[in-house]
Amino acid sequence: MNEQKASQGSPSIEEDDILVYGWIVDGGSGRAEQAAAELGLPPERAAAALQRLAGLGLLRTVRAPSDEVVAVDPDAVAATLTAPLRATIRFQEEQLDLVHGKIDRLRDHFFAGRSGNRDFTVEVIPTLEEVRAALNRASAECQEEVVSSQPGGSGRVPEAMKEALGRDHALLSRNVRMRTLYHHTARFNGPSQAYVAAATALGAEYRTSHELFGRVIIYDKSLAFLPDRTGSWGAVAVREPTVVGYLHDVFEQYWIRATPFSDAAQDGLERVAKEIHQTIVDLLAAGLKDESIARRLGMSLRTARRHIADIMETLGAESRFQAGVLAARARLTDRPHEGSGGES
């Protein structure tokens, strides 16, 4: 039997059929014109519904003439009605098992090649599809902990977050610890707030920082994924213990200094905005360009330039460097004098 044949006998129960069936249960006859009049259906639709119900075995003729009918218990014919669908499902499951079996054989060849002379301590994964496959495999094999630094915070797609939450749930259900670093700007993003709230309820941990060291995901302190610096959707998988250990140590340093995730409204919009402005001022004083500031703070270039314009206007600065200098002087002026309240 093939899938097409299995599908041909699938039952078709229309909304009209359910309506007419209920009418028969309530004492209606098998006459199409009466059903049409009482149910407000066109006569041809009422007749078609009666014919389908009879064909499915849901109506039984009591005696001649044929308009004397009664409804049949749906559970009595359920097995017969669903048999074609169950046959289709079995066929599809068999096909799925065959495909998985062949994929397993292909996977054996794929990993057997790695056990030869090739060095896979650093592996370039060129396409997005292969990156997803590698991440899914790493997540499935992870036993203790996954940590990640995820720069950015705005423009997060709700659909992608829903998919990610499913993967996170699978990890957390195995008691795998999850820790993630975001930029502070994620606290202004509604989808990010919803995602973090849902994942935190499952046991995940999130913190935010003004600046992050880059994007990385580390599994069990033994496998790290870094983005391909060419700007493609590819990635680089690193298994060299010293490099992975170093990346994990860097994550820990940022994690210790980061702030537990909470939305900006909860923290106070004014205070959060002031912290972001101060970080921008420091980066301006260091001579960074607008693009670099936006990237390091996880915000769009347009948003970064709006913050920079506000800062320069507030300080009365004519250049970005001058804004940094003026802000530094203002902080020195506001700082308490050394020795105040102490020995004279």
Mean pLDDT of 230-254: 91
Structure tokens at 162: 């829903």
Mean pLDDT of 190-216: 87
State how far Cα 159 lies from the chain centre: 6
Structure tokens at 185: 């700007």
Residue burial 160-194, b: 16+ Cβ < 10 Å; e: rest: ebeeebeebeebbeeebebbbbbbbbbbbbebbbb
pLDDT at 45: 93
Please name the amino acid found at residue 148: S
* Overall CATH class of domain 1-116: mainly alpha
From residue 185, alpha-carbon distances to 3, 171, 181, 261 in Å are: 51, 26, 12, 11
Q: Is the pLDDT of residue 5 over 50?
A: no
- pLDDT confidence tier of residue 337, bands split at 50, 70 and 90: very low
* Domain residue ranges in the chain: 1-116, 122-263, 268-334
Beta bridge partners of 216: 149
Q: Is the pLDDT of residue 153 over 60?
A: no
Mean pLDDT of 207-221: 90
Q: What's the pLDDT tens digit per position in 275-331?
A: 777 778 777 777 778 888 877 777 778 877 888 888 777 777 777 777 767 766 665
pLDDT at 333: 45
* Residue position matching structure tokens 């109506």: 59
4 Cβ partners below 8 Å, 6+ apart?
A: none
Pick from 137, 125, 133: nearest CA to 230? 125
From residue 279, alpha-carbon distances to 54, 200, 211, 304 in Å are: 76, 27, 9, 11
DSSP-assigned letter for residue 127: S
Q: Is 1-116's fold the same as 268-334's?
A: yes
State how far Cα 200 lies from the chain centre: 14
Pick from 246, 319, 324: nearest CA to 279? 324
DSSP-assigned letter for residue 234: -
CATH of 268-334, one of 3.90.1490.10, 1.10.10.10, 1.20.58.220, 3.40.190.10: 1.10.10.10
Q: What's the pLDDT tens digit per position in 24-66?
A: 998 888 888 988 999 999 999 999 999 999 989 999 887 666 5
Pick from 35, 11, 34: nearest CA to 21? 35
Mean pLDDT of 339-344: 37
DSSP state letters, 138-163 = HHHH--SEEEEEE---SS--HHHHHH
- pLDDT confidence tier of residue 105, bands split at 50, 70 and 90: confident
State how far Cα 130 lies from the chain centre: 18
DSSP-assigned letter for residue 298: T
Range with lowest mean pLDDT among 37-46, 100-109, 163-172: 100-109
Structure tokens at 272: 């959060």
Q: What is the model's pTM?
A: 0.56
Beta bridge partners of 71: 59
- pLDDT confidence tier of residue 126, bands split at 50, 70 and 90: confident
Structure tokens at 263: 């939305």
DSSP-assigned letter for residue 189: -
Catalogue the E-assigned strands of the chain. 59-63, 68-71, 122-125, 145-150, 177-183, 205-209, 216-219, 223-227, 235-238, 259-260
DSSP state letters, 155-187 = S--HHHHHHHHHHHHHHHTTT-EEEEEEEGGGG
* Residue position matching structure tokens 């259900």: 173
Structure tokens at 180: 């993630």
Range with lowest mean pLDDT among 67-71, 90-94, 271-275: 271-275
DSSP, collapsed to helix, strand or coil, labels residue 29 as coil
Q: State how far the Cα of 212 lies from the Cα of 204, in Å rounded to an integer.
A: 19
- pLDDT confidence tier of residue 172, bands split at 50, 70 and 90: very high
Q: State how far the Cα of 75 lies from the Cα of 69, in Å rounded to an integer.
A: 18
Please tell me the CATH code under which domain 122-263 is placed: 3.30.870.10
Average pLDDT, the chain: 80
